[in-house]
Structure 1
Amino acid sequence: MASAPQAQGLPLFYNDLQPLSSDLHGNYRVRVAETAPFLARTHAVPVTVEEFPLIQRHMPIVFSAGDEPVPLALMGLNEGTNVFFDADGKLRGTDPIYVPAYVRRYPYLLARLRPDSEELSLCFDPTSDTIGAFDEGDALFADGKPTELVQQILKFNEEFEIAGQKTGAFLKELSEMNLLMDGEVSIQPDGAAQPYIYRGFRMVDEAKLNELRGDQLRKMQQSGMLPLVYAHLFSLGLVREIFARQMQQGNVAPQPAPAA
C-alpha cells in the first residue's frame, strides 16, 4: 500500500541531478508548469511533520514499512494510482487540495556533491521541462549572479531540510516509544463478495498510546508531538474516501479469488 522512496540512488521523482551553476546555466529560465506528469502514477508522497495539520484534511498520513519509517501522504491505495491527478498530471476537479512540499520542491534538491562533505549544494533535475534555456520564463541568473528567484528556491529547500530533520526526530521518538504497529484497513463495499484489505504500511498503535503514563503524555504534549500523532490518526478516516474515489474512477485493483 505504501512504500518509502528508495534508499539507494536518486529520490522519488528525480531522474538525474546537476548542481546549479552560473557558468553552466547562466541563460537558464524557469517557466510555470501547468501539469505534474511525474505525479500521475505516484500513490504516496513523503511529507514532513510540519505539514501534518494541513495534509490530514485532504489525505491519509501513514508511515512506510521498514527499519526507517517515513511519513507518507496517500494519494491512492494502490501502486500507480493517484486519485487527485489524472494520467497527464493535471489536477482532477476544481476543489483545492494541499500539495506536499516534497512535490513543490521538485525539480530542485539540496545535495552533497562529495560523500565526505557536509556542505549542501542547490541541484536540479535537468530532465524537468520547467527549467532550461528557454526564451520565456523567469531568469535564474543576471550578470552572472543568482536572481531573487534562486534565493527563494534556496530558502525553500533549506526550510525543507530543517523540516526533514524535525520529522526524523519525531519518527525516532515514535520508534523508541514502540508506538508504531503494522497497519491494516478493511473496506467492505456494498455488493462485494469480500472486503478489500490494504496492508504494507505502519501506523500509531492507539492502544499503546492510551497506556502511556501521564508524564509521558505531558512530555509529548509539551514537545508538540501529541497533536501530530492525533493528526495522523484522524487522517486515517480518509482512507475510505480515497477508496471511494478510486471506485468512481475505476482504479480499484481486482480482488483475489475467494478461497475454495
Structure 2
Amino acid sequence: MTVQMLFYEDAVPVQGARHAECFVEMRGYGFCRGVNSVPLTAVEFRSAAGEYPIVFVQSGASLWPAVVLGLRREENLMVTEQGEWLGRYIPAFVRRYPFVFSAAAGDRQMVLCVDEAFPGFNRQGRGEPLFTPAREPSPYVGRVLRFLQEYRAQFARTRAFCERLQQLELLEPMQARFTVGTMPLSLGGFLAVGRQRLKALPGDALASLAAQDELELLYLHLHSLRNFESLHHRLPFAAAEALPAAEAEKRVTVH
C-alpha cells in the first residue's frame, strides 16, 4: 500500500448507483491507532510544529514531510483506546479520511473515493448522507470535495518544496534515541535538515528560500524535533519495559 493510502482498505469511487443510501458517521480516530507517522503538507508546518516532530521520509525517488506520532511501529501515542485524539492539531491527512482522490493510470481527472471498510460507513442512516433523495451529491460531499481539492493543491506545493530540498542537498539521516527505564529505544528511517548544510548555503539560495517562505518551514522543522521528548514521555513505561530490546529495534522505523 502506498504512503498516501496507509489506513485505507477498500476505497471505491463514490457513485449514486452504489451509495445513494449510504452515510458516514465520524466516530473518533481509532482507524489510525496503528500508524506511527502520517504525511504532512507544507502549509501545516506552523500548526504541527508546536506539538509533533516533523521529519522527512524518503521512499524511492519520493520525499515527503511527515509528523511522527509514535516511537514504535504500529503505535500512535496521540490516539487513546477510545479513539480520542490527544493533540490540539489533527493533520489534514487524518482529517480527510475516509475520503480520498484517486485517478486511473493516464487519467488526469480525479475521482472521489470512500473507504467502505471505515467503521463509520453505513446504510443505517447514521451520520451524514452521501446523496440527497434525488441522488445528487449531498452538501456534506460538497464540503469533502472542497477540502480534498485544497489538500491536493497543497500536496503539489509540498512536492515542489521537497524537490528543492533534494536539489540543495540539505537533508541527512537522523536517529532519535531514548532510554525508557533501562531499555534503549532508537527511532530511525527518516531525514532531517542538517544545520551545518543550511548554514553553508550561498546567499542567493537562502534568499530564494526566504522569498518563497520556505526558509521559515525549515526552521519550523528544526524546532519541532524537540517534540521527540514529548512523545517519549507519552510512551507507557510498562509497555516499554516489557518489550525485548531486539523487538524494540525492529519496531521503531518511521513509515
TM-score by length of 1: 0.86
Deviations 1:159-181 (A, max 9, x none): 11111101100100000000010
Among residues 193, 201, 204, which one is paired with 1:215 in the alignment?
A: 204
After TM superposition, the structure 1 = structure 2 runs for residues 27-176 of structure 1, keeping only pairs within 5 Å, are 27-33=21-27, 35-66=28-59, 67-92=61-86, 96-112=87-103, 114-142=104-132, 143-176=134-167
Change (3 A) 1:84 1:249: farther
CA contact (8 A) 1:81 1:251 kept: no
Q: 2: distance between equivalents of 1:249 and 1:81? A: 15
Q: Residue 25 of structure 2 contacts residue 127 of structure 2 at CA under 8 Å; is this kept in 1?
A: yes
Contact 1:41 1:87 (C-alpha < 8 Å) held by counterparts: no
Give, in angstroms, the shift of residue 57 of structure 1: 0.7
Give the SS at the match of 2:163.
helix
- Does the Cα contact within 8 Å between 1:110 and 1:157 map onto a contact in 2? yes
Q: RMSD across aligned C-alpha pairs, in angstroms?
A: 2.1
Shift of 1:116: 2.3
**TM-fit CA distance, 1:23:** 1.8
- 159-168 vs 179-188, which moves further: 179-188
Counterparts of 1:2-13 in structure 2 under 5 Å? 6=2, 11-13=5-7
Query: Partners of 1:15 and 1:249 in 2: how far apart?
Result: 32
Instruction: Provide the rounded CA distance (Å) in 1 between the counterparts of 2:213 and 2:22.
Output: 42
Does the aligned pair in 1 maintain the 2:43–2:154 contact within 8 Å?
A: yes
**Count of paired positions:** 244
Question: Structure 1 residues 134 and 65 mapped into 2: Cα distance closer, same or farther (>3 Å)?
Answer: same
* Percentage of identical aligned residues: 27
TM-score, scaled relative to structure 2 = 0.88
Structure 2: runs of 5 or more not aligned: 248-255
CA distance in 1, matches of 2:106, 2:206: 40
Corresponding residue for 2:20?
26
Deviation per CA, 1:190-245: give whole Å up to 9, x if none: x747x543321111111010011111111100111101111110000111111121
Quick one: structure 1 residues 68 and 32, their matched pair in 2 at CA, closer, same or farther if it must change by over 3 Å? Answer: closer
Supply the AA of the counterpart residue of 2:11: L
Cα shift at 1:249 = 6.4
**Alignment partner of 1:14 is 2:14:** no
CA distance in 2, matches of 1:192, 1:212: 41
Shift of 1:146: 1.2
SS of residue in 1 equivalent to 2:63: coil
CA contact (8 A) 1:40 1:88 kept: no
Displacement, 1:88?
4.6
**1:34-91, Cα deviation, whole Å (9 max, x unpaired):** x222211211011101100010111000111343221110111110121111345333
Unaligned runs of 5+ in 1: none
Q: What is the alpha-carbon distance in structure 2 between the residues aligned to residue 99 and residue 160 of structure 1?
A: 14
Q: Distance in 1 between matches of 2:15 and 2:172?
A: 45
